[in-house]
Amino acid sequence: MQDKLARDVVILDMRPVCSYTDFFVIATGSNVRQTKGIWDEVHARMKKDHGLIPKSVEGEREATWIVGDYIDLVVHVFTPEARELYRLESLWDDVPHEALEAASA
């Protein structure tokens, strides 16, 4: 299961159940270093490509679960263990979602 999680990016459409955001994007790095690297790349591209910076970011120091709040979009980047523990996909299994194969290095 952890190997599968490490490859998947899931987009949850939160609009039917939530008023504070439209989408959750959930991704996984293999370890804290990779999780931090994924977050750094997402942050840099959102800023460069869309001129967006997050309203808030939590978890960068520990890098087991980094949450970037872009208001309409909340990005979650987990280690496999944290993603398995918190199971956001299971918590919100009643919302529309799409799983994407993550790009590999």
Report if pTM > 0.75: yes
Tell me which residue of 85, 80, 45, 47 sits closest to 63, measured CA to CA: 80
What dihedral do alpha carbons 84, 86, 88, 94 form, nearest 10°?
Answer: 100
Residue 102 in this model has a pLDDT that exceeds 80: no
Domains of the chain plus CATH, in order, are 2-98 (3.30.460.10)
Residue spans of alpha helices (H) in 23-103: 32-50, 80-86, 88-91
Comparing 105 with 15, the larger pLDDT belongs to 15
Looking at residue 1, what is its pLDDT?
45
CA distance 95 to 44: 28
- Percent of the chain scored above 70 by pLDDT? 90
pLDDT band at 6 (very low <50, low <70, confident <90, very high): very low
Residue 105 in this model has a pLDDT that exceeds 60: no
Tell me which residue of 15, 24, 30 sits closest to 104, measured CA to CA: 30
Collapsed DSSP state (helix, strand, coil) of residue 60:
coil
pLDDT band at 18 (very low <50, low <70, confident <90, very high): very high
- 105 sits in which H/E element: none
Q: Name the amino acid, one letter, at 51.
A: G
